[in-house]
Amino acid sequence: MALLGRIYRSDFHIDFVGRRRVWYLVSGVLIAVCALSMIFRGFTLGIEFSGGAVFQLPSHGGTVEQVEETLSSVGIDPADGVVQQLETSKQFRVQTPTLSDQQTDELTDALAKRFSVADPDRDIAVSTVGSSWGSTITNKAIQGLIVFLVLVMIYLSLRFEWKMAVAAMAALVHDLVVTMGVYSLVGFEVTPSTVIAVLTILGFSLYDTVVVFDRVRENTAGMATSSRRTYAEATNDALNETLVRSLNTSLIALIPVASLLFVGAGLLGAGTLKDLALAQFVGIASGTYSSLFFATPLLVDLKRGEPAVQALDARVARDRGRRARTASPVPADPAASVGPAAAGQTVSGEVTALAAGAEPLADDPAGRPGGSGAREPVPAGAGLGGPGRRPPTAGAARRAGGRKPGRRGRPGGKKRR
């Protein structure tokens, strides 16, 4: 809760891009589990895809086991059918493989006799669906999906760039595999409602990804001459800036879908609501994850090999290294600090004294500068009225704007007597 509060106060900075290997690992595990389930476990196809017959009749206090016994009595394996007890309507829904007309009549009479149905023609509803209808729906859905992906790829390539389009397509495939894998794992029926829900969540996932990519484009605009941050850092900042918006959008979408899933599956037992809500719930959650943790880090890896991005990273590294060297203090050396400091004071004192008109020290006959002994350093205050000041010459006084020492330089212009 503390982290969630910090996120909604914008008091956070998460390194999404720096930890992308972790996100890749999580996505890889999810995709592997879902793909293996789809390959080895398969799907529970609805009657619209597999074909068959559906019988719906009053339960009259019966049990699912009694329905399965009735199926066995007419030569139908209960494992090949699906029996559901609808608690709210107090009815049974029996789905069987494709039956002949004779088998359909025999099963209808057997169910009416077992559960005391007075008028089978009125109280037992029988629906027969051919498998060709399901295959037609499947082909149409696949064709629509292909057209959708191609159009999205073209639009993103024109609106942004082709590498962003590739990253967005990878996120869509990620969401498709995860959503269908969850259907395979939980054993829910795949119905036309499922197909509609899957196509719906593809649009949601793409919308969230485009929002993040648009902020990435804004943050990386004009970086060719900048050295403030790298492409990866600008992309990571875009993720942090859009995180709250993505979470709010996803939560607002997930809450009603979760309610629909609970009401449809838990209370009403309506298969259509359950199939629609599960695909939307899983797809929205997966789409939010893939937009933040998969598509954008993948974009950074795709852009890493570009010469412009490499030049930017090198320029930022050089600039930061130069600032670090400038800001780092030079370690003090006591032995070295005494000499240069004293020498600096000596030179500055001499220069000041000469500027005030002092005569330089004459070299001694031995050739040593400054007289017979070693030159004594002139204090820093010399020439400015401090200790050790020599009287200025007349020329120096005139240059300094003063008066010539002597008779005319006395106050009041009085002559010396």
The predicted-structure confidence for 331-348, as pLDDT tens digits, reads as follows 555 554 444 444 444 444
H or E element that contains 128: strand 125-129
- Whether the per-residue pLDDT at 106 is higher than 50: the answer is yes
The predicted-structure confidence for 395-404, as pLDDT tens digits, reads as follows 554 555 555 4
- Whether the per-residue pLDDT at 380 is higher than 50: the answer is no
- Whether the per-residue pLDDT at 87 is higher than 80: the answer is no
Which residue shows structure tokens 């009416």? 112
pTM of the model: 0.67
Domains of the chain with CATH codes: 2-45+133-319 (1.20.1640.10), 52-129 (3.30.70.3220)
Residue 178's pLDDT is 94
CA 130: distance to chain centroid? 46
Residue 177's pLDDT is 93
Contact 164/213 with Cβ under 8 angstroms?
Answer: yes
Q: What is the mean pLDDT of residues 275-301?
A: 90
Which residue shows structure tokens 């709250």? 244
Token pair in block for residue 308: 């412009």
**% of the chain with per-residue pLDDT over 90:** 19
Residue 374's pLDDT is 44
Q: What is the mean pLDDT of residues 178-206?
A: 85
Lowest mean pLDDT among 250-259, 268-277, 325-334: 325-334
Q: Are strands 44-45 and 189-190 parallel, antiparallel or unpaired?
A: parallel
Contact 157/176 with Cβ under 8 angstroms?
Answer: no
The predicted-structure confidence for 113-165, as pLDDT tens digits, reads as follows 888 888 888 888 888 887 677 778 778 878 888 888 899 899 999 989 999 99
DSSP-derived 3-state class of residue 383? coil
- Whether the per-residue pLDDT at 219 is higher than 90: the answer is no
